[in-house]
Structure 1
Amino acid sequence: MLQTEALDTVMRTLADPTRRAVFERIAHAHEISVAELTEGSGVSQSAISQHLGTLKRAGLVVDRAQGRNVFYRADPKGLAPLADWMGHYGVFWRKRFANLRTLLKEIDP
């Protein structure tokens, strides 16, 4: 049950296109500040901060305060519920493709 809740949280968090874009910028940077995330995003600092809070609660990012600045970096462990779920369906599709390959070989001698 806990895995389902974690998966729902990650999927719901990444469903928002702006939040997903923020997460992608963080994931591509080693570490990035709120000011850098706001710069050129077309989104207010307040909105960026709200998105960061949601990403942090979902376990997708971690923060580090340094003086007045807060720096964010992606936490790969946060994507584990999504990776596990996709892995389950990867097995499902591999079996289906193997069955299809066998069927096509039987049809086309």
Structure 2
Amino acid sequence: MNKIDQKRDVFVAIADPTRRKLIRILAEAEEMPLHKLTEQFQLGRTAVSKHLTILKEANLVINRKAGRETRYRLNPAPLKEVKDWLSFYEKFWNERAILLKNLLED
């Protein structure tokens, strides 16, 4: 997989804690301009913008121009891929927990 493809992968996009925090902030807000998002971090505007670009390439963030500012909002649809992937492992761990409980009870 080349670097461009990785940027668009939702798992790569959410791997970074800063991007996960951006997703959380945008999930709690309807829409936010870049300068308001930047205030939430100890990063410069350029660094936050680069993280938003990666989220945008993974289709997790949608932006629109409003006058001179760019406003961002979350597109949660791609997170379904993550949820679906995790649901398999949730089943695995639930089964293991039941086996452990039974073992401990015996």
Q: Per-residue deviation at 1:38? A: 1.5
Tell me, yes or no, if structure 1 residue 58 matches structure 2 residue 96.
Answer: no
Percentage of identical aligned residues: 38
Q: May I ask how many residue pairs the two structures share in their alignment?
A: 101
The letter of the residue matching 1:19 is: R
Name the TM-score, length of structure 1 as normaliser. Answer: 0.78
Aligned positions of 1:28-107 closer than 5 A = 28-105=28-105, 107=106
RMSD over aligned Cα atoms: 2.2
Structure 1 residue runs of 4 or more that deviate by more than 3 Å after TM superposition: none
Q: Distance in 2 between matches of 1:48 and 1:40?
A: 10
Query: Residues 61 and 78 of structure 1 are in contact (CA less than 8 Å); yes or no, is this contact kept in structure 2?
Result: no
Q: Per-residue deviation at 1:60? A: 1.3
More helix by share: 1
Q: 1:88 to 1:40 in 2, by over 3 A?
A: closer
Any stretches of 5+ residues in structure 1 without a counterpart?
none
Q: Per-residue deviation at 1:21? A: 2.2
Any stretches of 5+ residues in structure 2 without a counterpart?
none
Greater C-alpha radius of gyration = 1
